[in-house]
A and B are shown apart, each in its own frame.
Chain A
Amino acid sequence: MTTSWHVHPALLSDYACGALDPAREASVDSHLQRCSSCRAAIAEHADSELVDAVWTDVVDVLDRPRPSLVERAAVGLGLRADLVRLAVGATGAQLAWTGALIAVAAFALTAPGLPTGLRMWFLVAAPLIPVTAVAAAYGPRADPMFDVVAAAPFSAIRLLLLRCLAVLPAAAAVNLLAGLVLPGGWLIGVLWLLPAVGLTLLTLACEIRFGQRRVGAVVLVAWLAVVTATFGTTGSVLPVFGPAGQLLFAGLAFLSAAAVARGRLEMWGV
C-alpha cells in the first residue's frame, strides 16, 4: 500500500541513522508501515552491514534447533546446551532412554500381580535395565548416524558416557518409583541400586576395550549366574542384596569408576 504523501529523503536518512527525536521517529515509523514506496526508499539510507547483521539474527532465530523438554530442563540445571544435545538429541540415545523407561514401567505394572516369590525377581531384573540401556545407547545398529559420528573428532567414549548419563538417572528414578509402589515396601526399591551402579560402571569400564555389546552380554550372563547359584543354594536371591553383597558391589563400582576415569584420560592423551 502507498500513501499520497511521502517522507522527505533527508528525514528518511536521519531516521535510518537513528538521529530523530522519539516523536518524529514514531511518526515516520507509523508512515513506513503503510507506505511501500518509502519502505523501498529507506533501503538506500540503511547501513547494509547493520541490515545484514539483523537479518542473520532473524534467520538464526528461525533456524535454531528447538530443544526438547528434557534438553531445556537439563540446560536449566546449568549443563552445556551442546553437550546436552549430544546426550539426548540423537535417535540412539532416545531409543535407549525410552526403552529403559518402558521396560521398568511394564515391570511395575505386572509385578504387583505376581506371587510373592516372583516379586523377589524384581531385584534380579532391576539392575540389568540400566546396563542394557547403556549397551544399547551406542553402536552401529542403535545409532543411524554411527559412521558420521565415528568419523568426528568428538571422543566416542565421551559421547557414550554422555548418553549413559542421560539414560541412567531416568532409568534409576523410574526403577526406584516402581520399587516403592510394589508390595514389599521401600526396601525392595532401593536394594538394587548399588548392584545397578556397580554393574553399569563395570560395563562402561570394560566396553572401552572389548566393545559394549560383548561386555553387556557377559555382564548379563554373569549376573544371572550369580543370582541363580544363590537361589539354588539358599532358596532366595536376597543374600545377593545383603550387607556383604552391597559392600562387594560398592567396591566394584569404585574400581570400575576408577578404570573408566583412567580410560577417559588415556583417550584424551593425558
Chain B
Amino acid sequence: MLEIQNVVKSYGGRRALDGVTLTAGGTGVLGVLGPNGAGKTTLMRVLATVAAVDAGAVRLLGRDPRVPDDRTGIRRRLGYVPQEAGFPRGFTAFEYVDYVAILKEHVDRRARHDEVRRVLAAVELTDLGGRKIRKLSGGMRRRLLIAQALLGRPELLVLDEPTVGLDPEQRLRFRDTVSELAQRCTVVISTHQTEDVSALCSRVVVLHQGRLLADGSPADLAGAADGRVWTGATRHPGARLAWRTAEGTVRQIGDPPPGSVLVPPTLEDGYLLLIGAESATVDGSEGQVAA
C-alpha cells in the first residue's frame, strides 16, 4: 500500500525528513506521533503526493508518485486532510465539497451531488450543507475537510492532525468514523496527542527531528517505559521527566531509585521517554516538564 525508503526532504537548510523508511498496508490505522516540528506534516504531504522528496524512494498504492500518470492514479484512490486548509470565500459546505468532487473527477452532476450528500452525512453535516462555511464553527470546518477526503471511497486516507479543533464529543465521533473507514482502507493519521493513537491505531511510529525513532504497536511503545515510571512525593534527581499529577504525587520517568513505587506505563510515558531521551529539557523547577 505505501512504501517509503530513506526519504529525505529539506526546506532551506533544514531537513524535515532525514532518511525515513516506512511501509504499511492492508486495513487499519497507522499513527504518526511526534512533537511539533518533528516532520509529521512533511511526511503527510509526501504521502498525499503534494510534496516531492529530495532523495529516497516512494511507492504509494503500488505506484511511483514521480511518474505523472502514476501520480494521477494515486490521487484517484487517495483522501487527504491537510493540517491547515483555507476555504473559498462565500462557499457553502455543499459547494465546497462539490468543488473538490469536481477536482476528483466526479463529472456527472447528479451522481456527484449524491456522493457529496453521502460524505456530508458521514461527518454528520447533512443539515448544514446549505450553510456558508464562514458561519460554521472550527469543529464543523474540520469535519468538512474530513468529508472531502472521503469522496470516492479512497483506499488510502492521509489525515494530518485531523482532531485539532474538535471538542471531546466530536473527537469520539471522529474516532468512530475513522475506525469504521479503517476496516476498508489504510488510514495514516498524524497527531501529537497520544490519546488519539491509543484509541485508534493498531500501529504507531514516532517521528522526531525528521527521523523515525520507533515503530510498533501502542502497547510496544508503552512497554518501552516498563519499569521506568514511578511516583513519589518529590522529584528525584535521576528522573529524566517529571510532573505533578492531579493527585498531588510526582510522576517520574527515567531510571528509578531503589525502593521506588513503580506504576504501569502508559503510551504517553513511553512516548515522552523516547522523545525525552532525544531532546527534552527539564525545567529547573520541581515537577515541571518541557518536552
Contact = CB atoms under 8 A, between A and B. Distances in A.
Interface string A56-90: 10011011111000000000000001100110011
Nearest to A152: B103
Contacts of B48: 147, 150-151
Nearest to B71: A153
A151 B102 contact: no
B85 A144 contact: yes
A153 B104 contact: yes
17 contacts: A63-B130, A66-B95, A81-B109, A82-B107, A82-B112, A89-B95, A90-B99, A91-B86, A91-B88, A145-B88, A145-B100, A147-B84, A153-B75, A154-B102, A159-B103, A269-B68, A269-B69
B129 A63 contact: yes
B105 interface: yes
Contacts of B88: 89-91, 94, 144-145
B98 interface: yes
Contact of B102 (A86, A91, A150): A86
A151 B160 CA distance: 13
B98 A151 contact: no
If over half of A's interface residues share one DSSP class (helix, strand or loop), that class is named, otherwise mixed; here it is helix
B37 to A, nearest CB: 18
A64 B85 contact: no
A54 interface: no
Nearest to B84: A147
Contact of A86 (B99, B110, B113): B99
Nearest to B152: A153
Given A149-B103, A154-B105, A65 B92 contact: yes
A86 to B, nearest CB: 6
Contact of B87 (A66, A145, A150, A155): A145
Chain A interface residue number, banded: 20 to 34
Contacts of A94: 88-89
A148 interface: yes
B117 A151 contact: no
A145 B86 contact: yes
Contact of B117 (A63, A81, A153): A63
A89 B99 contact: yes
Interface in A130-174: 144-145, 147-155, 159
B148 interface: yes
Interface in A86-123: 86, 89-91, 94
Nearest to B81: A148
Interface in B225-263: none
Contacts, number: 97
Given A144-B85, A147-B80, A153 B72 contact: yes
Nearest to B67: A269
Contacts of A59: 117
A153 B50 contact: no
A151 B49 contact: yes
A66 B76 CA distance: 27
Given A65-B92, A150-B48, 7 more contacts: A60-B113, A90-B88, A144-B88, A147-B82, A147-B85, A152-B104, A269-B68
A62 B75 CA distance: 30
If over half of B's interface residues share one DSSP class (helix, strand or loop), that class is named, otherwise mixed; here it is helix
Interface of B: 45, 48-50, 68-69, 72-73, 75-76, 78, 80, 82, 84-89, 91-92, 94-95, 98-100, 102-105, 107, 109-110, 112-114, 116-117, 129-130, 145, 148
Interface in A5-49: none
7 closest A-B pairs by beta carbon, nearest first, are A144-B86, A152-B103, A147-B82, A153-B75, A151-B80, A154-B103, A65-B95
Nearest to B104: A152
Nearest to A65: B95
Contact of B82 (A56, A148, A266): A148
Contact of A85 (B92, B99, B129): B99
Contacts of A85: 98-99, 102
A267 interface: yes
Given A60-B110, A267-B68, A148 B94 contact: no
A92 to B, nearest CB: 8
A68 to B, nearest CB: 9
A159 B76 CA distance: 16
A86 B98 CA distance: 10
A66 B78 CA distance: 28
B50 A152 contact: no
A151 B75 contact: yes
Contacts of A159: 103
Contacts of A89: 88, 91, 95, 99
